[in-house]
Amino acid sequence: MAIQKVMVIGAGQMGSGIAQVCAQAGYEVILNDMKDEFFERGLNTITKNLARDVEKGRKTEEEKSAVLARITKSLTIEDAKDVDIIIEAAVENMDIKQSIFKQLDEIAPKHAILATNTSSLPITEIAAVTKRPEQVIGMHFMNPVPVMKLVEIIRGLATADEVYETVAEMTKQLGKTGVEVNDFPGFISNRILLPMINEAIYALYEGVASKEAIDDVMKMGMNHPMGPLTLADFIGLDTCLSIMEILHEGLGDSKYRPCPLLRKYVAAGWLGKKSGRGFYIYE
């Protein structure tokens, strides 16, 4: 199936990034959010990213305008009636995602693929509320979307081969590398990344080293672009905790227990960069 029209649900950090890369690849994009201000904030981020590309000589002013012209505002899920694929990037909450997928299943054309950008919720469980579980799939982009090359493509239990192939081809068109992953807690990215971050938090909690030292070891010793505690702040400590809980519950192994210090920070509202304070303080 050839994809031409894409709908992205959620104009936040991930959704706006996904909309940007889709529009850059030439797709018609409907960017949906519940409120005008959320859409405008997302569009503003995209516009700033494109302006930087122009400034750096990676795009012309005309190319920037063409990308923006391919993005249409949507404030109603009814706009799903006329698209080939929907990529959902709403909040990481199973009830909300299931409610969105139920509605999409009613509204979207029969051929449309329903994809989710979830970082850790089971694709199979989201697919189960629809009458087309074979057309439901995970497309897990990494943050920041315009920069990161990877898309984890997650097959739910019922995902059809041709749906996987279509999404793998679209991922290539986006200039990204897709990897095929089966639907198990945390998929691959977060099954490996989050226990590393959690272990770094344990090292801090047990007084093995300072936060700066822990980050320096991984940055300079292992060539990671960010140390694990800085990365945790970047991802959001509430998100880190929620993913650790999903791993712990889903895999039933105590090696995935979330560090008490992580729980304490989240309880304090120290959620990382977005709240101004996590392991580090952000002005």
Q: Which of 89, 100, 231, 247 binds ligand CAA (CB under 6 A)?
A: 231
For ligand CAA, the binding residue among 128, 160, 188, 226 (CB under 6 A) is 226
Q: Which stretch binds ligand CAA (CB under 6 A): 130-138, 185-193, 206-214, 253-261?
A: 185-193
Nearest to residue 38, comparing CAs of 71, 67, 9? Answer: 9
Stated length of the chain: 283
Choices 79-87, 107-115, 223-231, 264-272 (CB under 6 A): range interacting with ligand CAA: 223-231
Q: Which of 51, 96, 147, 213 binds ligand CAA (CB under 6 A)?
A: 147
What angle do the packed helices 228-235 and 189-205 form, to 10 degrees? 120
Smallest CA-to-CA distance from 173 within 147, 143, 151 is with 151
Q: Which of the residues 152, 189, 198, 242 is marked catalytic? A: 152
Q: Which residue has the tokens 């068109």?
A: 173
Q: Does 116 bind ligand CAA (CB under 6 A)?
A: no
In the complex with ligand CAA, the residue whose CB is nearer, 163 or 232, is: 232
- Two tokens, residue 187: 């998929």
Contacts of 280 (CB under 8 A, 6+ apart): 211, 229, 230, 233
- Residue ranges for the binding site for NAD(+)? 10-15, 33, 92, 97, 119, 143, 274
Give the span between the Cα atoms of 26 and 63, in whole angstroms: 11
Binding site for ligand CAA (CB under 6 A): 49, 52, 56, 119, 142-144, 146-148, 189-190, 193, 225-226, 231, 235
